[in-house]
Amino acid sequence: MNLEKVIFGFFIVFAATLNFGFFIGEIDNPSHHDIYELFAAIVVNLIATVLKFGDRTQIGAIHLATSLVADLQLLAAAMVWGYAVHVAGTDLTAGVMSSIVSLSGGALFANVISVVILIAETIMQRR
pLDDT tens-digit series, residues 69-119 = 999 999 999 999 999 999 988 888 999 999 999 999 999 999 999 999 999
The answer to whether the beta carbons of residues 107 and 73 sit under 8 Å apart is yes
Q: What is the pLDDT of residue 127?
A: 58
Mean per-residue pLDDT for 63-70?
A: 95
Share of the chain above pLDDT 90, in %: 78
| Closest residue by Cα to residue 102 from 19, 12, 14, 13 | 19
Q: What is the pLDDT of residue 53?
A: 86
Length of the chain measured in residues = 127
CA distances from 44 to 51, 102, 118 (A): 11, 19, 17
Mean per-residue pLDDT for 14-20?
A: 96
pLDDT of residue 1 exceeding 80, the answer is: no
pLDDT of residue 55 exceeding 90, the answer is: no
Q: Cβ neighbours of residue 64 under 8 Å, at least 6 residues apart? A: 49, 52, 53, 55
Q: What is the pLDDT of residue 111?
A: 96
CA distance 5 to 91: 42
The answer to whether the beta carbons of residues 34 and 22 sit under 8 Å apart is yes
Domain count, the chain: 1
Domain limits for position 93: 3-124
